[in-house]
Chain A
Amino acid sequence: MSQIIKQEKKRSFVTAPTAAVLSLILPGLGQILARRVQRGLLMFGAMASIIGLLVWRITLLGRLADGFWPTLFKSLDRAPMFVGFGLLAIAGLWLWIVIDAAKQTNPNKQFGNSIFVLILVVFFTIGWQISEIDLVKLSSDANEAWVPLSKILWPWEAAVTHDTDTVEAGAKVLVDSEGAAPPVPEKSEGEPYLRVSPRKGELSRLDEDNQAIPGTKITVYGENFEPNTRTQIWWSDSIGNEFRPRYQGEYVSVMTNSEGSFEKEMIMPYRLIPPSAQGQQIHQVMARQVSQVGPPLPSQPLILTIELIIETIFMGMMATIFGIIFSVPISFLAARNLMSTSWITLTIYYLTRTVLNIVRAIEPLIWALIAVVWVGLGPFAGIVALTIHSIAALGKLYSEAIEGINPGPIEAIQATGANKLQTIMYAVVPQMIPPFVSFTIYRWDINVRMSTVIGMVGGGGIGFLLVQYIRLLEYKSAGIAVWFIALTVAILDYVSAEIRQKFV
């Protein structure tokens, strides 16, 4: 305390006005000469970084404008709040520093740290702008996030599927070409029947200005379908590609009446006729009733998710097992108490430690990127990546367990006349089991959790599937994967905690 008081009593080298002028030329210089060196340096550093950052952001905002003033005005135009505040803050701070320099020359008035609060506020503002924080976006587009989120939170409709039964009938039409219209389909007893009128016409098309020109209006008549059931109309072009035509923006569909008949008007849809197509273009109109039959069945995404979560758990397990196999011998090389006997072993110890630390510092995701190049896409790449990281992590943990062993029991067992093997089995192994089991289970836990994400870079497992579903915007399927990952991790967390508790 006395030392601080002595510091405060230091006499200034310069008078108050001189200090003020000096700080006006170079912020902080006045303070330094008033023998408040730290304060001066801090102020100079703060002002230099604020001005530097602001210049950088202004140049970015006023890009493509020529000269100093146009750049400034353009940036002020694009972000008036930020640039305006920044410039004002610099002016204000500078002024404050000048006043502060004058004050600091008086040894009895050297307090006042509120200026640093303002400096922090300025830094915070610049950071806000640099990291593009936009609170408006956060609320304005929230409803967009709700759609995928709700699907991910409750994806279970996508988890079941049913076998379907299709009732279908078709009728041919001639489009965009000369010739006789195809014949009216023949009726047969008990089969659904479809008929189109007229059986010849023009498809919808686009003119030179991309304006749609509607095609021929046709009427579709159906008989002998399932009564009171929604029926979809499908269109099949001359090479058999099927699609659902729209009429007035909606997919064309119709309800059958109580006798299983219907009548529906529509226009011929837009379909590009391939230039290679020659001769008569026969298209087909189809009516199709799809109904669910039988019990609910697991859907494809559910089956895939279960398959891949099993793959994921085993990836974690295999990586842990390989990790144990390699890290146990390595851990002996990395245990100081075993390796401090001579300078050769000590060198090996330091080398092993260094390599372990470097390998451990590189994230498994990065190892996976390397492993994918090395052994190709798939779970094996994930296992390689996780194994490499596990060896380093377990090697370090095991070696620390070896270092922490109590030499007392070893001495006592030796004193009974036991040989080396017996000493290891009776005095060393019992001491090693708890940390070994604990660290290994912990690592298995980490490996399974990591293998759920390692697939994102091509390392196999469920992460691969999850990323695919998200990219295809199949949020419900992605939701199933997310649920299974969460469930697996939670169960594993619990199990590993239980096992560790038993052994420690």
Chain B
Amino acid sequence: MLEIKNLTKIYPDGTLALDDVSFTVEDGEFLVVIGLSGSGKSTLLRCINRLIDPTKGQIIMDGQDITAAEPSELRRIRRKIGMIFQHFNLVDRSSVMTNVLSGKLGYINPWASILHKYPPGAKKEAMAALEKVGITDQAAKRADELSGGQRQRVGIARALMQNPSMMLADEPVASLDPVLAHTILGYLEQLNHESHISVICSLHYLDLVQRYASKVIGLRDGQVVYRGDREDIRKMTDEQFKEIYGEEAIRVNAGEFDKGEE
């Protein structure tokens, strides 16, 4: 279980990105965070594994306070939290295999990893992860030779190598076309159902939210302006949607390609 209590983040330039955000994520939940670009979604996700250090508040995962963790402790926490990104964040010049294996870095001896020496089972495990996302045949290719959808699958395989108990997904489908969006979210849903990995995912399209979320929070200017479960989101009206996304927002279909940048 993940508890977020009174989380606030103020950037050095004075931007208030998160303003007293509190919520809980039960194990096995598929939490979707919605909100405009700049509403604090990315900051929220990055605070959970402390890629960004919050200014105030607490994040407690399975009884352990992440915000107070020492560096070595933090690395142990991080390896249980997989993360995928809008722009995939693969190392382009490394092979797909190396990219996937880098998901194991938190578990292995740093000095051995510098020489690219992995424990005996690691390669098999990486192939298994690639098989789960259906791209075993791409393992030897360089990451930048792959298409967008394939690259996001490599991202998922890398996260799977961490053997995570939670997945953070920062707009995982915003750079992909709608068909691929369903494929990628399908993998996340599968992980969520079969392996009981909690998922926290930021999304833009109401259709996708309605299809995949088990729980939703809406952010606006760093504040939680909406909370709802699966039932609530089904009944969500345009008025509520507008309240989260601002007055000028119109309800767009998932069929439209979003070029929005965070």
Chain A positions within 8 Å of B, measured between CB atoms, are: 406, 408-409, 411-419, 421-422, 425-427, 430-431, 433-434
Contact = CB atoms under 8 A, between A and B. Distances in A.
Interface string B132-174: 0000000000000000000000010011011000001000000
A418 B81 CA distance: 12
A417 B80 CA distance: 8
Given A408-B85, A414-B78, A427 B51 contact: no
B87 A422 contact: no
6 contacts: A412-B155, A414-B51, A418-B110, A419-B71, A421-B114, A422-B113
B156 to A, nearest CB: 12
A409 B83 contact: no
B227 interface: no
A46 to B, nearest CB: 53
B106 A418 contact: yes
Most buried by B among A406, A411, A431: A411
Nearest to B84: A412
B91 A419 contact: no
A409 B91 contact: yes
Contacts of B161: 416
Interface of B: 46, 49, 51, 71, 75-79, 81-83, 85, 87-94, 98, 102-107, 110, 113-114, 155, 158-159, 161-162, 168
A430 B78 contact: no
Contacts of A418: 75, 102, 105-106, 110, 113
B118 to A, nearest CB: 12
B110 to A, nearest CB: 5
A415 B83 contact: yes
A422 B114 CA distance: 7
Nearest to B115: A425
Contacts of B85: 408, 411-412
Contacts of B168: 415
Contacts of B162: 416-417
B164 to A, nearest CB: 10
A430 B142 CA distance: 12
Contact of A417 (B87, B90, B94, B106): B106
Contacts of B76: 417
B97 to A, nearest CB: 13
Given A417-B79, A422-B114, A426-B102, A412 B158 contact: yes
Contacts of A413: 91, 102, 105
B90 A412 contact: yes
A426 B104 CA distance: 12
A430 B93 contact: yes
A431 B75 contact: no
B89 A416 contact: no
Contacts of A434: 93
B87 A408 contact: yes
